[in-house]
Amino acid sequence: MAHPTSAAPLVATLTAADVEVVIDASTGQLVIAHWGAPLGHLDHDALQALTDSGVPHSDLDESAVPGLMRESARGLTCTPALRGHRGRTGFSPLFTVDSLVQNGSRCLAVLVDEALQLTLSWTFTLTPEGVLLVDASVRNDGTDDYTLDALDVWMPVPERADETLDFTGRWLKERQPQRLPFAPGLRVREGREGRSGHDHTIVQCALTSRTGTESGEAWALGLLWSGGCRHLAERDTAGRGALAAGELIEPGEQVLAAGQVYRTPTVAAFYSAEGLDGISARSHAWLRSRPTHPSSPRPVTLNVWEAVYFDHDLDRLLALAERAASVGVERFVLDDGWFGSRRDDWSGLGDWWVSPDAWPTGLAPLVSRVKELGMQFGLWFEGEMVNPDSDLYRAHPDWILQVPGRTPPLARHQLVLDLANPDAYAHVLEQVHAVVSAEGVDYIKWDHNRFLTDPAHLGVAAVRRQTEAIYSLFDELRRRNPGLEIESCASGGGRIDLGMAMHADRFWTSDQNDALERQQIQRWTTLVIPPEMLGTHIGPTDSHGTGRRHSIQMRAVTALFGHAGIEWNLLEATDDELEALRRWTALYRDRRDLLHRGRGVRVEHPDPSALVHGVVAQDRSEALFAYVQCTTTPANRPAAFRLPGLDPDSRYEIRLEDLGGAATVQRREPAWIERSVTATGAALASVGLHPPILWPEEAILVSLTRVDA
């Protein structure tokens, strides 16, 4: 093990997939000397010289470099990585590097503060996809308690990163982009819901002013965590920028006794020299490389919530299952209302047994018929919640998260079960497992319809324990039921994060099924989450979220680019709509390998009234692109849209896919629609295609197939 006083400089260099990270401990503190594109054969002394900015007036005699710890004791006035105390003392740490060891793509650094009696360990792992995973832990080496308030992972970004990008939102309108100047000072995005929330940013990015979706540099941090979270961006008075991510620790939640260790959630750091689409490519490749990533073809899924709500009539559901199978559905999901006294959202949560009132003959008649039709069967749960009007709550009112002596406010007539309570945890696990195993459930839609208030276990803040418990519960359900898949839903998109991505197979992207609203939601959720993990459904003709009416073509094109499904009472669909659905499911099944393994493309289009996006096969042999006319185009001939990402030297057959027909306003269609045309990838990326003149809120789908090698 090397030591800072050894002759060789303590420097580790991690390189993979056109990303390089240089970790420098040669001065006794831990510094990320470089995070970005590879630097070539640059020695340590030269890098130090290039990054030295001199000493300005009105500063320390020797300017301090913000290492990972960013300590005030070194003369830094930026936000420190670690904050805590031992009562009224121990508030100002000063860590020195004890060791730095590199083993291939991984580097371990150990830092100590002998005066404060703390040891910090940092692990940096650069994956083959170029994603840097950072883990940190702090150990209390003293004899008295140490109260930890924060331990964040900070990564520097260069001065040319002069803008930030993060995401905000609400129920029915998640992942809305916010691009702002990277101004001096601190920008903080905190999630205090006890879940990641509809306002969760998933990642926070630093960009140059020239960075777009297709080109330019981008840096991003994302937290592998579903509880309280922090994303920060800071530019100090010296003009230096940095991003950070970490767990939001509630007051008193992390009091470390002697010898006790706190471990941060993993932070994923992404760098791209190919715009935001490069961030997506890295994140998707990394997530797809996991052994637990869904590997079987993602089945066309029908969920019955917006079809029947709480009206669980067997004959109606059997007819819906027949209709679903006839159009190509492969998974049928029964939503809320099958258990306990649950006839509305006022009662029954926590009583996970099949209701004889709603299902006098049990679920077997529906399940058996669904499986006879060749479909999987899915079932809805909301196991972390309880209604006061339930057998469970009447028996165990103490099983909720609460500050002793008071009951939290209700949300959707429900409270939150304390899963840190082993009895409450066992109740949920055993009842859910009993239903899943007895009924032959292939798939769980697991909801989380309220945020946490007074999230205490025995009077102590317990957001971390609650988060770890749901991870454990999901993992145990899947262990007991091999092949079981779990969808994370939280009133739609309220718990979509990189932490839950490690324990769930699918996310319900949003309760918003309006195809126009879904365009932005899906566009930005896929920034880091691969589309095969995102439920994208064709909603009803009249949207239940906005009241808008969209054509089957618009809804089908929108829902194609994800884990496709249907959220619609098909018993009300017309013959023409059913035939369009058959074509759509056939296209999805035929092209889902492309849709779920290809590279996503968000095209930079000159007309703000339209969005263009697509997916290109990794070998560039085929592609699908959507042109979406969101509002009325300002010109009487819409601007041509480019189709980038193809092999420039190959020729491609161009085909317009008919999924019900898009409404147009024109005397003649563009020539590429009227006759067979082939073109090079270079021409399609530069000249592009002129779309037909579409009605607003309409879309077309273009299929490209390489016709020469």
472 closest CA partner among 500, 442, 438: 500
Containing 191, the helix (H) or strand (E) segment is strand 185-191
Q: Indicate whether 709 pLDDT > 80.
A: no
At 222, which CATH number?
A: 2.70.98.60
Q: Indicate whether 7 pLDDT > 70.
A: no
CA-to-CA dists, residue 83 to 69, 148, 530, 672, angstroms: 10, 6, 35, 62
Question: Are 424 and 567 in the same domain?
Answer: yes
At 423, which CATH number?
A: 3.20.20.70
10 Å CB burial of residue 58 (0-12, 13-18, 19+) is exposed
The span from the CA of 220 to the CA of 252, in Å, is 30
Q: What is the pLDDT of residues 451-498, one digit of tens each?
A: 999 999 999 999 999 999 999 999 999 999 999 999 999 999 999 999
CA-to-CA dists, residue 669 to 536, 675, 688, 691, 692, angstroms: 30, 10, 16, 9, 6
CA-to-CA dists, residue 359 to 363, 434, 436, 438, angstroms: 6, 17, 16, 15
The span from the CA of 653 to the CA of 443, in Å, is 39
Can you tell me the mean pLDDT for 410-414?
A: 97
The span from the CA of 221 to the CA of 231, in Å, is 8
464 occurs within a structural domain:
no
Q: What do you get for the CA distance between the two ends of the chain, in Å?
A: 53
The span from the CA of 31 to the CA of 67, in Å, is 4
Q: What is the pLDDT of residues 544-594, one digit of tens each?
A: 999 999 999 999 999 999 999 999 999 999 999 999 999 999 999 999 999
403 occurs within a structural domain:
no
The first and second tokens of residue 140, run together, are 């209390």
The span from the CA of 550 to the CA of 181, in Å, is 37
Number of domains in the chain: 3
10 Å CB burial of residue 165 (0-12, 13-18, 19+) is buried
Share above pLDDT 90 across residues of the chain, in percent, rounded to a whole number: 95
350 occurs within a structural domain:
no
Can you tell me the mean pLDDT for 510-524?
A: 98
Question: Are 256 and 317 in the same domain?
Answer: no
349 occurs within a structural domain:
no
Question: Are 364 and 269 in the same domain?
Answer: no
The span from the CA of 150 to the CA of 693, in Å, is 54
CA-to-CA dists, residue 78 to 74, 102, 225, 550, angstroms: 11, 29, 25, 50
193 closest CA partner among 424, 497, 459: 497
396 occurs within a structural domain:
no
pTM summary value: 0.97
The span from the CA of 626 to the CA of 611, in Å, is 8
Q: What is the pLDDT of residues 166-195, one digit of tens each?
A: 999 999 999 999 999 999 999 999 999 999
Question: Are 477 and 606 in the same domain?
Answer: no
Residue 488 identity (one-letter amino acid): S
At 675, which CATH number?
A: 2.60.40.1180
Question: Are 648 and 539 in the same domain?
Answer: no
Please check whether residue 388 is in contact with residue 410, taking contact to mean a CB–CB distance below 8 angstroms.
yes
pLDDT value, residue 440: 97
| Residue 103 φ/ψ, nearest 5 degrees | -130, 95
Q: Indicate whether 119 pLDDT > 60.
A: yes
Question: Are 572 and 636 in the same domain?
Answer: no
411 occurs within a structural domain:
no
Enclosing domain of residue 496: 301-343+360-384+419-450+469-595
Question: Are 70 and 127 in the same domain?
Answer: yes
Instruction: Specify the 3-state DSSP secondary structure of 270.
Output: strand
Question: Are 280 and 253 in the same domain?
Answer: yes
pLDDT value, residue 304: 98
Q: Among residues 241, 263, 288, which one ends one of the domains?
A: 288
Can you tell me the mean pLDDT for 695-700?
A: 98
The span from the CA of 179 to the CA of 208, in Å, is 11
Question: Are 673 and 534 in the same domain?
Answer: no
Q: Which long-range contacts (CB under 8 A, 24 or more apart) does 44-49 make?
A: 44/9, 44/11, 47/22, 48/24
Q: Among residues 595, 628, 661, which one ends one of the domains?
A: 595
394 occurs within a structural domain:
no
In which residue are the tokens 């500050």 written?
A: 403
Instruction: List, by residue number, the catalytic residues.
Output: 447, 511
pLDDT value, residue 708: 84
pLDDT band at 1 (very low <50, low <70, confident <90, very high): very low
pLDDT value, residue 443: 98
pLDDT value, residue 589: 98
Q: Among residues 566, 595, 624, which one ends one of the domains?
A: 595
Question: Are 138 and 221 in the same domain?
Answer: yes
Question: Are 634 and 652 in the same domain?
Answer: yes
Question: Are 43 and 121 in the same domain?
Answer: yes
293 occurs within a structural domain:
no
The first and second tokens of residue 276, run together, are 């935001």
Show the 3-state SS of 439-508: HCCCEEEECCCCCCCCCEECCEECHHHHHHHHHHHHHHHHHHCCCCEEEECECCECCCCCCHHHCCCEEE
pLDDT band at 62 (very low <50, low <70, confident <90, very high): confident
